[in-house]
Amino acid sequence: MEHEAVHGLEALAPIVATPVAYLRWIPLLPLLGALWNAAIGKRLQARLGRAPIHLVAIGVMTAAFAIALVAFAAMLRLEPEARFLEDSVWTAAVAGPLRIDLGFALDPLGITMVLVVTGIGTLIHVFSTGYMHEEPAYWRYFAYLNLFAAAMLTLVMADNLALVFFGWEGVGLASYLLIGFWWRDRDKASAGMKAFVVNRIGDFGFLAGLLLLFWLLAGAWGTGTVPGAAGPTLNWRELRDQIAIPGTGVAEHLQAVRLLGLPALGLAGMLLFVGAMGKSAQLPLHVWLPDAMAGPTPVSALIHAATMVTAGVYLVARLDFVYALSPTAMGWVALVGGLTACFAATIGFVQTDIKKVLAYSTVSQLGFMFVGVGVGAFWAGAYHLVTHAFFKAALFLGSGSVIMACHHEQDMRRMGGLGKSMPLTRWTYLVATWAIAGFPVASGFYSKDEILWKAFTARHLELLGVPVPWLGPALWAAGLVAATGTSFYMFRSYYMTFTGSYRGASGGHGHGDAHGQGHHAPEESPLSMTAVLVALAAGAVLASFLGLPAVWTGHEPLLERWLAPSLTAGHAVPFTEFPHALEIAFQGLGVLAATVGWLGARALYAEGRSHAPEALKARFAGVWAFVNQAWRVDALYDRVVVRPAVALARFLSRFDGAVIDGAVNAAGAIGRFLGWLDAAIDTHLVDGLVDGVATVTRRAGAQLRRLQTGRIQTYLYGALGGALLVVLLDFLVP
Amino acid sequence: MISLVHFLVVGGLLFTLGLVTVATRRNAVGVLMGVELILNGANVNFVAFGRYGAAATTGQVFALFVILLAAAEAAVGLAIVLAIFQTARTIDVRQADLLRE
């Protein structure tokens, strides 16, 4: 291992990118599929039924998968260090010397993610055709699903961090749309909103971290004191070239800057990780993921287990060159991951909703991944990401199959005994449970034990600038506890669902007659679903070969070698060396932990015989309720965040109603008064004047007309009077 | 010795009598006669100024013109009176008020 590290350091050179023009089609095709179904899917479905909808949706996903395979093959033909494909579509923005492209790039880490997203994504699209069979808004579902795939692929393949953020927001949107897919149900709609809002908090951290990192780098780019700094860029390949290659001086510059008494780089890493915490549901931003189970089950499998939630892990692995420079950031990532892994595992113990169990299990497994990337075993984190994608997708789709068979019943207490009627679902679920619990042969063992071993050997972590050599072993211990828990609650869900006797409303009065044959005992799901389950379960086992440990085979695991050109920083992480025997002993401990969990679950839940669970629940009712309500984190949020926010909103609303509206109304009233006054002046004064003139004239005329007597002598009197007047005036006026 | 003032007084009296006649008579013919008095009052003045003033014969010539003009005026006036009479069957000027408002 040490030898490898030295080798890796020496070989580090700028990445040579090979331009290929087809990369853009990988995210673009699902986007086109989404637009197609969104635009005319409704009419197509009304005219031609569901087939054209899912043919388009699955077609674009398959095509994207095929193109990804082509890219993979192209990459295999290149030298390991030169495995970098690039496709710049156009320049999106230019700000001074900074240029941001709409460009896509693939390196070994990227293609691994792309294959997972498109591969498992395609399978889940196929599964959805069965699961969403009766959905009226079939077209909308597939449009959203394709939109998600497009956003996720943009996030993974973006060649610069601005575009990564774009995809990051895109998957958040798709997730929101799909969680609230049945938006007529108020709870589901608000679950979608919750996910969106919590993610927004994380996104703020991401953006702040990104800007801080950029600001830090600007210190290197702008001053001219760092000769190796090539110039402003957000392209992560160029960033990696500048930061990771020794001798440029950028890394030293980054490490030297301090902010608020902390290493500024650590702060940037921690902030970026806040984004990852939001997206990957880590403490304390995990609250949205269990609620996200309100969405259709295939969505839970694809977005909230296999792909989107791993975006945070991907981000940390992608920025490995940043994290490797900052033990503070690494310690933070690993600590949050370890805490989350333990915390979520305990909640899994007492959940009765099968999807909730899987949701908390996902949170817990994501914690494991963060322990991996946090301690610097970037490839191990990525490996757990891949294996988890397989077995968790299999578990979720298995649960979807079960839920459908039980007429949309998700409570495990009303299941049981399904193993007999649903053999394929049962066996695939068991294999996936095996994998997640960490038994050898199935893949979870290899990835989890690699993470735990690396955690144990990590002595370089720091928290807020303070070295904490004990953190690594502590994380190992926590991980072991969490692994025991994982094994326990997963086998618990297996036993409660598939063994014993059926406790549901079989043959009784279900809900409505809409389901036709659905009232009878649960039956195996259609081929479109079971075939996918088998494929995923097979993947969960076969993924083992990617990561057979070095102590078994004598050479580094396949996936580690494959990812090495991407995760160059991993070589620089100073893990402590221990003898191989100890590593094998630790693997034994891992298996022991899984066995303990399994046996515990078997004793308590197998065949539904034991009454101990009920007794324990009654005995520790308080604790049970506390844990069942997820440690009341939601209640805490409700009290600390939601209620003050609502109160503030109410206050502002009242302020708005009383003060602002009052002011506006007052202004209106004044205006009205002025208008009234003006009108009064107009009618009374101006009109009065005009009318007055007219009236006076008329009245004067009425009076004066009497002078016109028609008598000649009257006129004569007038003339005489006038003459007299003139004479008099002549005398009076000098 | 009769002086200019005597003549002017006679002229003034004639004018005044004529004016009063015109102003008060209800008979249209009487009114016309009042007009004659006024004109003749003026004639007395013309002749008197011609005798005593510097104008010599001019005053007498003007008096002749006035007599001529009075004759023409009386002719026109009597024609109007006749027309009124034919219309209103009266020559009372107070009844002839068709031009009133």
How confident is the model at residue A438, as a pLDDT? 85
Q: With beta carbons under 8 A apart, name residues in chain B contacting A713.
A: 22-24, 93-94
CB contact, 8 Å: B89 with chain A?
Answer: no
Residue A306: pLDDT over 70: yes
With an 8 Å Cβ cutoff, is B54 touching chain A?
Answer: no
> What percent of chain A clears pLDDT 70, i.e. is strictly above it?
95
What type of residue sits at position A484? T
Neighbouring C-beta atoms of residue A92, cutoff 10 Å: 14
Q: How far is A712 from chain B (nearest CA, A)?
A: 7
Q: In this structure, what token pair is assigned to residue A119? A: 């591969």
Q: What is the ipTM of this complex?
A: 0.84
Using the Cβ of A715 and the Cβ atoms of chain B, whether some distance falls under 8 Å is answered with no
Residue A361 pLDDT greater than 80, yes or no: yes
Q: Using an 8 Å CB-CB cutoff, list chain A residues near B99.
A: 708, 710
Decide if B96 and A712 are in contact by the 8 Å CB cutoff.
Answer: yes
In this complex, which of A706, A710, A716 lies closest to B23 when CB atoms are compared? A716
Computed over every residue of chain A, the mean pLDDT equals 86
Residue A641: CB atoms within 10 A of its CB come to 14
Closest partner CB to B101 (pick from A708, A713, A716): A708
pLDDT value for B42:
93
Q: Is any Cβ of chain A less than 8 angstroms from the Cβ of B101?
A: yes
pLDDT tens profile A511-533:
444 444 445 567 788 888 888 89
A553 alpha-carbon distance from chain centroid: 37
Where does the pLDDT of residue A218 fall: very low under 50, low under 70, confident under 90, or very high at 90 and above? confident
**B-chain residues within 8 Å CB-CB of A706?**
101
Shortest alpha-carbon distance between residue B48 and chain A (Å): 24
pTM, two decimal places = 0.76
A386-400 mean pLDDT? 90
Minimal CA separation from B78 to chain A, in Å: 16
Distance (Å) of CA A425 to CA A135, A442, A531, A606: 22, 17, 10, 18
Bridge partners (DSSP) listed for residue A87: A104
Q: Give the minimum alpha-carbon distance from A689 to chain B in angstroms, rounded to a whole number.
A: 29
pLDDT digits (tens, 9 = 90+) for A662-693: 999 999 999 999 999 999 998 889 988 998 99
Separation CA A177–CA A143 (nearest Å): 10
> Among partner residues A709, A713, A717, which is closest to B100 by beta-carbon distance?
A709
Query: What would the pLDDT profile of A144-162 be if each residue is shown by its tens digit?
Result: 999 999 999 999 999 889 8
C-beta atoms of B23 and A717 within 8 A: yes
Residues of B in contact with A709 (CB under 8 A): 97, 100-101
Mean pLDDT score, A386-390: 90
**A94 in B contact zone (CB under 8 Å):** no
Give one DSSP letter per residue of A654-718, joined into a string. HHIIIIIHHHHHHHHHHHHHHHHHHHHIIIIIIHHHHHHHHHHHHHHHHHHGGG----HHHHHHH
Low-confidence winner among A403-407, A463-467, A488-492 (lowest mean pLDDT):
A463-467
Average pLDDT over residues A563-573: 80
Q: Is A106 helix (H, G, I), strand (E, B) or coil?
A: strand
Distance from CA of B99 to the nearest CA of A (A): 5
Query: Could you give the CA distance from residue A466 to residue A647 in angstroms, rounded to a whole number?
Result: 40
* Cis peptide leading into residue A284 (ω within 30°): yes
Least confident among A259-263, A598-602, B3-7: A259-263
**The pLDDT value given to residue B55:** 66
pLDDT tens column, A196-210: 988 988 999 999 999
Q: What pLDDT was estimated at residue A564? A: 82
Query: For position B15, what pLDDT does the model report?
Result: 94
From chain A, the residues in CB contact with B97 under 8 A are: 709-711
Mean pLDDT across the stretch A213-227? 77
pLDDT at site A80: 83
Q: Which of B87, B94, B95 should one mutate to test binding to chain A, selecting the residue with the greatest count of A CBs within 10 A?
A: B94
